[in-house]
Structure formats: C-alpha cells, structure tokens
Structure 1
C-alpha cells in the first residue's frame, strides 16, 4: 500500500494535519491549566508525529513527500485553530463603554444571566457608562450581539482573565444558575 505514491502523499499529509491539530489543542489545554488532558493528547500527538516523520525520512529522495509534510503542517494549524474556536474553553472578560450613561444596559444584561459590574465614567465627550462583564467563551458572540443591540456605538474590549475568584460569577456557576434564561429561550 505504501508503494503507491498518491497514497503515501495522502498519508503523510493527513498524519501531519492530525499531529499539528493535536499539538495546537495540547498547547491550549496546557495554558488553560488542564495538564492531564494535555499530557494524554501529547502522548497521541508524539506517536502520530513519529509515524509521519518516519515516512518522510524513509523517503527523502521524493520531494513531494516533503511538500506533503509541509502542506499538512499548514493545514494542521488551520484545523487546530478551528477546533479551538469550536471548543471555546475558558472565559472572557468584556469591558464596554457606552456613550449613553442612562442606558439600561446593566439590568438588561443581568436579565440574560451575565455578571455585570458597572460604573459611571467620564470620556472625552462627556459622561459614559462603563461595564465589566465575564462570560464563558462559548457565549462571547451572543454577548457581543446583545451589547450591539443595546448600543450599536458601544466601545468593546475583550480579553481572557488568567484567574477568577469570588463574586457573582463563582456563586452562579456553583449553583448552576448562569444563563438559565438562555437555556429556556433555546428550547
């Protein structure tokens, strides 16, 4: 089977797509503190890597094998990043500044299950409503839509917090109450 050049190229390409995808996921899991799952994925990753590299090294006289290996690597980066987006592990903190300090942002977002801390602030052109919102990454796009529906001109900055402790967020997660309204709406 490995004598067929087309099959060999396909195997090398697919092996590298899988290897790099696993590598991307392993790094992300490591950064998220999920070291045991990352270690298990790393074990599979290095096995796949060794097989693919062995196929290329055994056939170094064929440049197309090296090209398939490199192309598989690039496709693996794309595939791994798509998988990571679908997994959407962790949380995101969104800072919002609205030019309308009287807008009922805070209450409307809280009704949707978001933990919102808000305060009045002052910008270059006057009073503002500033908010800090914490949400699972899986809910990130839904939050952006809710914000834009309330104030299309809102200034939004998002980042991933390294550690979360205390407050509304921890209480709601422990009680399983977070986003209960969204679950009812999707049924």
Structure 2
C-alpha cells in the first residue's frame, strides 16, 4: 500500500513539473510571437494538466497528493525558467554610456560581431560616448564581459525590444553570418593548443 502511495506521489509530482514547465515555455513563445509553436505546446500542456488534476481530485482524502501537486508546481516554475534561459530566444538591446569618448569602443564591439549605433553625448561631468547594441540573447553575458573589459566603469542598461525591423545587422544575424569569425578563432586556438601538446 505504501509503495502504491509513493508511486502516486511521484506521478503527480512529475506531471506537475512537466505541465508548469510547458506552461512557462508556451507563455514565453506567445510573447515572442511564435503562436503556432505555442499552440502545439498548449495541446500537450492541457492534456498533462487534466491528467494530473484528475489524479489529485480522485484522491482528495490523501493530503500527500495535494502536497506533491503543490511542490511539483513550484519546481515546474523553476525548471521552466531554466529551460527558457537555455533557449535564450530573441534579441536584447543594450544601451552603454562610456565616460571616455576617446576609447575605440564601437570598433572593438563591431570587430566581435555586435551591431552598434553610437553617438556623442554630454553628461553632468562632460563628454560621453553613448551606444546602442543589439545582440541575440544567447550572447548577452558575453557582451557584458566584453564591455567590462573595454571600460569597467561603463553605465549599462538592457531591455528586450518588442519588434525589430530592417537594418544591416539583423539581416546578417538571421542569415547566420555574424559571430562565425569568433567560432573559427576559438577552433583555431584549440587546434593550435592541441598541436603544441
């Protein structure tokens, strides 16, 4: 009997983790405009939800099933957000203000494949270099590291654009042409290191 109760708890827990993870991913895909993929995921999501809820409602006298349902829901939120981080869908826009307009900031970023629009600005303490940088979300952390290497005191604000249209850089990203040089360099470095060993 105890074995059966543990199996039921494990099933309810697993079902709810999967359901909430799918729900989180569906919501993110909907917000990103991928409605057909989101619709496909929602069919699996609602089926899993109905089965899980049915198991709990059929056994309301067992408090451990309700606890498993609640714990599975909480874990599902964490798992769903981790999956979304790994998928890193969409783009991020980063506004950077450097206190040293003399730094070759834009050239260094463009050499690494980032789309940069820059202009000179004036702050409370003098001239500044302002930049707007567009990058796929999967390169966001790498971009922050690059900015800190160039100017550790740079002021950074990031946000996700709702819509992107036109422009040279977006076309290049969609064709998969950007950031290939960086991958080639990394492969060459690894090959050279292996040859030395």
Q: Sort the TM-score into its range (normalised by shorter chain).
A: over 0.9
User: What is aligned with 1:111?
Assistant: 111
Gaps of 5+ in 1: none
Report the CA distance between 1:18 and its aligned residue: 0.3
Structure-2 separation of matches of 1:176 and 1:76: 33
TM-fit CA distance, 1:179: 1.3
Q: Which runs of 4+ in 1 moved over 6 A?
A: none
Partner Cα separation in structure 2 for residue 91 and residue 103 of structure 1:
26
Q: Residues of 2 paired with 1:181 and 1:157: CA distance?
A: 27
Q: SS of 1:4's equivalent? A: helix
Question: 2:93 corresponds to which residue?
Answer: 93
Q: Which runs of structure 2 are paired with 1:114-153 in the superposition (5 Å)?
A: 114-153=114-153
Ranges in structure 2 where 5+ consecutive residues have no aligned partner: 188-197
Q: How many residues align?
A: 187
**Structure 1 residues 158 and 7, CA, compared in 2 at 3 Å: closer, same or farther?**
same
Counterparts of residues 35-74 of structure 1 (less than 5 Å): 35-74=35-74
- Matched residue, 2:21: 21
Q: Which residue of 2 aligns with 1:180?
A: 180
Answer with 62-71 or 3-12: which moved more: 3-12
Give the TM-score taking structure 1 as reference length. 0.96
In the TM superposition, residue 185 of structure 1 has moved relative to its aligned partner by 2.5
Q: Tell me how far apart the structure 1 counterparts of residues 9 and 124 of structure 2 sit (CA, whole Å).
A: 59
